[in-house]
């Protein structure tokens, strides 16, 4: 594509720049570096607001994954986006726990087990915090804390982190929820250790319950975690209502936990997917007029007719989804594939590698991140 003439009126330039694809952030970056006038136009709140509105939901511009043997938690770019890291990152080993609203929740495995931090790959900033110290199994989620936010470009705003821990005791397993006060990025070094009062414990029947290492699902003001058991390969859904600060436990479809993920459907409801042989089974949770909820299997997709599978004896694995997009990620013998459940179109996003969970990084890219960015270390 030929660059637009710098002599065009600003209104026409905006119309051209609006049509730059959101999953090619380098286009806007290069344009912003062309001259001061284009930089001012592209970095202004007016254009950025129009750009986000024009393109709707933020695109996937990369992903992080778990587990990783890399000393630096890799953000694998699926575009020309390049993540920023704090200079004091060090050579520690980090594990990924969640990725949402432009932020990544990580644990420093070389530090005490309760040491976590939130990382903004767009700017390189981080915020340290501490989670539950003594916990048999842990689930965690990071999310924007601004009411009414459209989450199109909110990675620099205040956020919350929710930790759900499963402990073992003589009375059985129970779950407590802690979350920090709403926090913002700051220039001064600080560690967050302030927790709210825990919600009432949810007592579980079995002593061997644990939270599956799969991405939590956010639907409106509710978080869903997958709960599994050592003695049984089937799963349950652990629901945390952030408004009422309450926990509840719900059944899951009759599927094996190790081959399953829960997900947010396009209509905003809770979904569930699992693979048996080379068939993908999709379930939807429906709430009746009387308030009772039940799972309905609404679709079965024969993956060998959809994606290029060379070895039909290999076990396919679901490794993640995009919230509200009807998009899943599957490992196949040739690589990692993104599959649209609506159109049944697919594309290979990366080579095959040894990881079990993929967290998509969804965000619009703002040109000032390259041209006038100051990286803060919290």
HEC profile of 154-190: CCCCCEEEEEEEEEEECCEEEEEEECECCECCCCCCC
Contacts 24+ apart (CB under 8 A), 19-22: 21/59, 22/51, 22/55, 22/58, 22/59, 22/364, 22/365
- What whole-number distance in Å separates Cα of residue 237 and Cα of residue 253? 10
R_g (Cα) of the chain, nearest Å? 22
Task: Indicate whether 321 pLDDT > 90.
Answer: yes
For the chain, what percent of residues have pLDDT higher than 90? 13
328 has a pLDDT exceeding 90: yes
Boundaries of domain holding 286:
254-353
Predicted pLDDT of residue 174: 61
With contact defined as beta carbons under 8 Å apart, do 214 and 226 qualify? yes
Average pLDDT over residues 187-213: 66
Q: What's the pTM?
A: 0.81
Is residue 270 in some structural domain? yes
Sign of the dihedral defined by the CA atoms of residues 206, 210, 214, 219, in that order: positive
Q: How confident is the model at residue 72 (pLDDT cuts 50, 70, 90)?
A: low
* Sign, CA torsion 197/200/203/204: negative
* Helix, strand, coil percentages in the chain from 3-state DSSP, rounded to 5: 10, 45, 45
φ, ψ of residue 125 in degrees (nearest 5):
-80, 155
CA distance 194 to 177: 13
Q: Is residue 321 included in any domain, yes or no?
A: yes
Q: How many residues are recorded in the chain?
A: 378
Q: How confident is the model at residue 304 (pLDDT cuts 50, 70, 90)?
A: confident
Angle in degrees, CA 149, 152, 153, rounded to 5:
95
Cα–Cα distance between 358 and 336 in angstroms, integer? Answer: 10
Residue 269 in domain: yes
Q: H or E segment at 42?
A: helix 36-43
Say what the alpha-carbon torsion angle 275, 281, 285, 289 is, to the nearest 10 degrees.
Answer: -160
User: What's residue 376's pLDDT?
Assistant: 25
Q: Once rounded to an integer, what is the mean pLDDT over residues 257-276?
A: 84
Does a structural domain hold residue 259? yes
Least confident of 116-130, 173-187, 264-278: 173-187
- Chain centre distance of CA 166: 22
Q: Count Cβ atoms within 10 A of the Cβ of residue 304 and give its class: 0-12 exposed, 13-18 middle, 19 or more buried.
A: middle
Comparing 101-115, 127-141, 166-180, the range with the smallest average pLDDT is: 166-180
CB atoms near residue 219 (< 10 Å): 17
The average pLDDT across 162-172 equals: 69
Q: Is the pLDDT assigned to residue 63 strictly greater than 70?
A: yes
Instruction: Say if 215 falls within a structural domain.
Output: no
> Which of 100-109, 220-229, 301-310, 346-355 has the weakest average pLDDT?
346-355
Any domain includes 278: yes
Number of structural domains (the chain) is 1
Contacting residues for 213 by C-beta, under 8 A, at least 6 apart: 66, 356, 357
The span from the CA of 67 to the CA of 348, in Å, is 20
Would residue 302 count as lying in a domain?
A: yes
Has residue 368 got a pLDDT over 50? no
77's tokens: 């770019």
| End-to-end Cα spacing for the chain | 40
Return all residues near 248 (Cβ < 8 A) that are at least 6 apart: 202, 238, 239, 241
Tell me whether residue 218 is in a domain: no
Predicted confidence at residue 228, as pLDDT, reads 85
> Average pLDDT, stretch 312-336?
85
- Contact predicate 74/67, CB 8 Å: no
Task: State yes or no: pLDDT of 184 exceeds 70.
Answer: no
83, pLDDT greater than 50: yes
């Amino acid at each position: 594509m030929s660059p637009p003439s710098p002599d065009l009126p600003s209104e026409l330039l905006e119309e051209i720049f609006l049509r730059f694809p959101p999953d090619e952030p380098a286009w806007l970056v290069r344009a912003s570096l062309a001259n001061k006038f284009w930089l001012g136009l592209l970095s202004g709140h007016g254009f950025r607001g129009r750009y986000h509105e024009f393109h709707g939901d933020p695109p996937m511009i990369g992903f992080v994954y778990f587990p990783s043997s890399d000393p630096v938690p890799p953000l694998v770019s699926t575009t020309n986006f390049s993540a920023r890291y704090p200079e004091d990152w060090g050579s520690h080993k980090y594990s990924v726990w969640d990725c949402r609203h432009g932020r990544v929740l990580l644990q420093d495995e070389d530090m005490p087990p309760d040491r976590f931090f939130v990382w903004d790959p767009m700017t390189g900033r981080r915020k340290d915090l501490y989670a539950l110290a003594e916990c048999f199994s842990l689930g965690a989620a990071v999310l924007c804390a601004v009411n009414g936010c459209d989450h199109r470009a909110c990675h620099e705003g205040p956020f919350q982190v929710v930790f759900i821990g499963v402990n073992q005791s003589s009375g059985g397993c129970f779950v407590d929820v802690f979350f920090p006060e709403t926090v913002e990025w700051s220039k001064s070094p600080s560690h967050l250790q302030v927790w709210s009062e825990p919600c009432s414990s949810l007592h579980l029947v079995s002593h061997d319950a644990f939270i599956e290492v799969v991405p939590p699902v956010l639907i409106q003001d509710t978080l869903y975690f997958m709960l599994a058991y050592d003695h049984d390969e089937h799963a349950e859904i652990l629901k945390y209502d952030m408004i009422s600060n309450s926990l509840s436990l719900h059944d899951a479809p009759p599927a094996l936990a190790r081959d399953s993920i829960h997900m947010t459907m396009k209509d905003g409801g809770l979904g569930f997917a699992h693979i048996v042989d080379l068939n993908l089974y999709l379930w939807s949770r429906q709430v009746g007029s009387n308030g009772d909820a039940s799972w309905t299997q609404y679709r079965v997709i024969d993956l060998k007719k959809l994606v290029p599978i060379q070895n039909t004896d290999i076990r396919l694995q679901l490794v993640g989804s995009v919230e509200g997009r009807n998009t899943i990620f599957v490992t196949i013998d040739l690589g990692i594939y993104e599959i649209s459940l609506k159109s049944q179109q697919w594309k290979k996003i990366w080579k095959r590698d040894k990881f079990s969970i993929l967290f998509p990084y969804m965000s619009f890219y703002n040109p000032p991140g390259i041209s006038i960015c100051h990286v803060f270390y919290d």
